[in-house]
């Protein structure tokens, strides 16, 4: 079983930057519950899971992706906070970090081992894409609608939809990790 301690260890650097302790604990709990519900039993197993089934990830795993997107989104926010004399909008860093850590948590239910050493979309995943299952998980854990927006609207479900600013940064950081791999695999990364 993947425990609270395991998740705290995996994401320690990012979790430690969430100021609100309740949100930090809730984030960890959503991951623990997601691992349980998705059938991920060990950290080793979890760390082998690719972050997407849509393209060859060249070994970039789900945990690495989650960390890279969260850090990337934070850096996008920090760049504007550093450079702009006056911020046109308010950025909630706790919401940004929590959203980054949870944006793909639904993939714990969407992806499953195929029994042949690879991975496939689960039955749950066929019924509900990860932004939907992840949103349900976050809302059931008690997160706000704004945090839910970062999960619900980070991918194509969010196109044209109203978004909190943190969703915008998470979306951009997410596609900055995904698009180069698709391009590499299509021979378009020059
Ligand atoms: Fe993602």
The string of pLDDT tens digits covering residues 126-171 is 999 999 999 999 999 999 999 999 999 999 999 999 999 999 999 9
pLDDT at 45: 96
pLDDT at 55: 95
Residue 67: pLDDT band with limits 50, 70, 90: very high
Closest by CA to 77, choosing from 64, 90, 60, 65, is 90
pLDDT at 1: 95
d(CA 60, CA 111): 15
Distance 65 CA to ligand 1 centre (A): 7
On whether the CB atoms of residues 174 and 69 are closer than 8 A, the answer is yes
Write out pLDDT tens, residues 10-65: 999 999 999 999 999 999 999 999 999 999 999 999 999 999 999 999 999 999 99
Distance 67 CA to ligand 1 centre (A): 10
pTM listed for this prediction: 0.97
Distance 148 CA to ligand 1 centre (A): 15
pLDDT at 145: 98
> What burial letters (b/e) apply to 60-92, b meaning 16+ CB within 10 Å?
bebbebbbbbbbbbbebbeeeeeeeeeeeeebb
Distance 131 CA to ligand 1 centre (A): 9
For residue 10, the number of C-alpha atoms closer than 13 Å in the C-beta half-sphere is 24
Distance 85 CA to ligand 1 centre (A): 31
Beta strands in the chain (DSSP E): 111-113, 119-121
Looking up tokens 């929590």, which residue turns up? 98
Mean pLDDT across 110-119: 96
On whether the CB atoms of residues 134 and 147 are closer than 8 A, the answer is no
At 19, is the secondary structure helix, strand, or coil? Answer: coil
Distance 8 CA to ligand 1 centre (A): 19
Here the tokens at position 47 are 């760390």
Distance 175 CA to ligand 1 centre (A): 8
d(CA 62, CA 59): 10
Distance 171 CA to ligand 1 centre (A): 8
Residue 137: which residues within 8 A CB-CB, separation 6 or more?
A: 30, 33, 34, 102, 105, 106
Q: Between vectors from CA 46 to CA 44 and to CA 51, what angle results, nearest 5°?
A: 135
Distance 138 CA to ligand 1 centre (A): 16
pLDDT at 113: 96
CA distances in angstroms from 162 to 132, 159, 170, listed in the order given: 16, 9, 14
Residue-range domains of the chain with CATH: 4-185 (1.10.3210)
Distance 155 CA to ligand 1 centre (A): 8
pLDDT at 79: 98
pLDDT at 17: 98
């Amino acid at each position: 079983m993947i425990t609270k301690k395991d998740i705290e260890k995996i994401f320690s650097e990012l979790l430690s930057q969430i100021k609100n302790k309740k949100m930090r604990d809730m984030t960890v709990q959503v991951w623990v519950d997601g691992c349980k519900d998705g059938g991920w039993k060990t950290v080793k197993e979890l760390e082998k899971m690719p972050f997407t089934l849509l393209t060859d990830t060249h070994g970039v795993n789900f945990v690495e992706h989650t960390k890279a997107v969260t850090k990337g989104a934070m850096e996008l926010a920090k760049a504007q906070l550093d450079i702009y004399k006056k911020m046109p909008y308010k950025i909630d860093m706790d919401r940004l970090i929590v959203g980054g850590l949870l944006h793909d948590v639904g993939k714990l239910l969407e992806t499953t081992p195929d029994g042949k050493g690879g991975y496939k979309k689960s039955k749950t995943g066929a019924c509900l894409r990860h932004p939907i299952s992840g949103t349900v998980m976050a809302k059931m854990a008690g997160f706000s609608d704004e945090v839910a927006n970062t999960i619900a609207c980070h991918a194509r479900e969010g196109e044209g939809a109203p978004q909190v600013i943190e969703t915008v940064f998470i979306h951009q950081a997410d596609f900055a990790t995904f698009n180069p791999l698709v391009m590499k695999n299509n021979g378009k990364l020059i």
